[in-house]
Chains A and B, each alone.
Chain A
């Protein structure tokens, strides 16, 4: 859980509070990542897979189809004096047609922009790990 203070422009209330959970940030990041050209798929690790199975089972009981969060780890650092500091780690597979470094940098930019646009949250960092390069996948 992550609480963000939002300044209220109307001035009636001094400020509003916005609470985000990690899966929400992860789902936004997953969506942004998959829209980048050259990304074949995200690659969840064992921990990510177990976590996502548990989460989707819980959501299905409630009758919801969960947005995918596999392959993105969200780390919130509350010790930072400047406020909570959010770091993302993304694991993915890229296509061999594009330069891996360029695709990864495009992912970093797309995710930072998408999270800022959807939540107002400025990410401290986005680390991208390319775990595999798929020679068969084009574009």
Chain B
């Protein structure tokens, strides 16, 4: 209430030359638009001018109040992507190339491709995957797997080995020097 009173006093000091103050004009804005204007509202040019300005103010504040758009996620996304890139920059595996400068791929990217390849085998879910670069454009990989209790057969591990080796060559261009598979868990499906 204290705030309202202060506002009233401030606007009351802005009395128009006709005697009415801006606060009254503001309050009567709705009345006038609804067609219940009194003689003074219609005739007084000071009141009319004040009313026009107040309408503009009301429209603008209404627009702002109705604006519920969220701040853009683009910048947040770009920052997070930059942070992830910064982490991945540290562990890089060299790839073969004929051009000067060299090509490297992050260990995390290698791991995600190899996990993806292992996942394509029925009844196998790849879990942890640790990639280490060794000499001669090759990698050593340690991967742990969860396998289906019902669907699992002994051949599945051979399939995993085959597909991971194929993915390393076809998708990345590195040689798989060593692949350690750990059967870490069973799941019921």
Contacts and interface: CB of A to CB of B under 8 A. Distances in A.
A133 B116 CA distance: 11
B171 A87 contact: no
A135 B152 CA distance: 25
A132 B101 contact: no
A49 B78 contact: yes
Contacts of B174: 101
Interface stretch (B29-37, B102-110, B126-134, B138-146): B102-110
A98 B171 CA distance: 6
Contacts of B78: 44, 49
B100 A104 contact: no
B99 A108 contact: yes
A130 B170 contact: no
The 4 closest A-B pairs by CB, nearest first: A101-B173, A125-B101, A108-B99, A104-B103
Interface of B: 78-79, 81-86, 88-89, 92, 95-106, 108-110, 112-113, 116, 170-174
Given A101-B97, A132-B88, 18 more contacts: A44-B81, A44-B85, A45-B86, A46-B86, A87-B101, A96-B113, A99-B173, A101-B172, A104-B95, A104-B97, A105-B98, A108-B99, A125-B99, A128-B97, A128-B101, A130-B95, A130-B103, A132-B84
